[in-house]
Structures are given as C-alpha cells and as structure tokens.
Copies of this chain bind each other. A is one copy, B any other.
Amino acid sequence: MTTDENYKAKRKFERRVPRGDDQERLVCSDCGFIQYENPKVVVGSVVTFGDRILLCRRAIGPRIGYWTLPAGYMELNEDPETGARREAWEEARAAIQIERLLAVYSIPRISQVQLIYRASLAEPSFEAGPESQEVALFDWSEVPWKEIAFPSVHWALGHYRESRDQESFTPFSNPEGETGVY
C-alpha cells in the first residue's frame, strides 16, 4: 500500500513533539503537517466449506508463495464484517457468510489489530484474485503447516479447530506470550 512516491516523500518527516501535544509525532519538515500514526485494523476470516478450510497462496510480499487466510486492511467507512467479506471476495472470489467473531489478535510491534471471523461458503465457488497465486480448500490433515504465511494464521486455524462445535464463546486472543512476530 505504500508506493515509492510515498516512501520518498516520507523521508522529509522528522520526529518531534508538536506544540500543544505531549508525544513525539512525525512532522513534515517542509510544511509542518503532522502524520498521526494509529494502529491498523486487519479484518479476515477462517472460511469453511463443510469440513474443509479455504486458504490463499500469496502472490504478493511479504511471504509470497505462503498460505494465508483471506484478510486485509479495513477500509474507511466500512464495518468490520463488510471488510472481511470484501477481502474474501478480493483474494479468493469467495462469497462468504460470516458466522461469528473468532478472535481479536494484536501485533503490537507493527501496531496491528486483527478481527478474525468464522465464516462459511454456501457452495465451493472460488478462484484466485489478483493478490493470490492459488486458492484451495484443505482438510485439516492436509493444511500446509510448514508453508503458512504468518503466526496469526496458525493461531486462527487452531482456535477455529478448538471452537468449531461451540455456538457461543468468548473470542480468542493471542496465545499466551505470543506477539505475532515471525
């Protein structure tokens, strides 16, 4: 999402405490614009068709070629469930039904909050969107565990497995002591 153009411009920023503030911020040394940095929200889902789980093989970095859940940054003026449906469509051309919130993970080092839903497909219709090399349904025993893109994908699959027969549960959070850094 960061283009070269943005990257270049960003280098004019310096860290200082703006007047009237009490924390260091990124301030443009040319024009004084203050870039408030905020945590970003990722919305995604563990999508199933029957007992099988939908995964997408990444066509873009980071972790190109590795498998992930359909997930991505929530957009402006969107609610989280709409965002999770949009991402499943963009990455896997999958029209999903969201069932419930599975987990809220956080990756403080990169200031990311992830809202991961349980969702299902009414029919096994999907194909790779532009950010995926391949999309497939996996039985639990076939999940490519050694080629999973991110720790939080591992967590979400495990938490899905743990709660799949429960109708109502408190959403999971990071496994004890895990920060999501890989």
Cβ–Cβ contact A35 & B35, under 8 A: yes
Q: Which residue of B lies closest to A34 (CB)?
A: B6
- Let me know if A5 is at the binding interface, CB within 8 A: yes
Q: Which residue of B lies closest to A109 (CB)?
A: B77
- Let me know if A138 is at the binding interface, CB within 8 A: no
Cβ–Cβ contact B32 & A30, under 8 A: no
Query: What count of chain A residues pass the 8 Å CB interface test?
Result: 52
- Tell which of A19, A30, A38 has the most Cβ of chain B within 10 Å: A38
- Let me know if A4 is at the binding interface, CB within 8 A: yes
Residues of B within 8 A of A79 (CB): 106, 108, 174
Cβ–Cβ contact A33 & B19, under 8 A: no
A161 to chain B, nearest CB (A): 18
A82 to chain B, nearest CB (A): 8
Residues of B within 8 A of A8 (CB): 32
Q: Which residue of B lies closest to A105 (CB)?
A: B79
- Let me know if A3 is at the binding interface, CB within 8 A: yes
Residues of B within 8 A of A33 (CB): 6, 9-10, 12-13, 28, 33, 35
- Let me know if A124 is at the binding interface, CB within 8 A: no
- Let me know if A31 is at the binding interface, CB within 8 A: yes
Which stretch of A48-56, A63-71, A143-151, A164-172 is in the interface? A164-172
Q: Which listed residue (B13, B40, B101) contacts A171, Cβ 8 A?
A: B101
5 tightest A-B CB contacts, nearest first: A9-B33, A79-B106, A6-B34, A9-B32, A76-B111
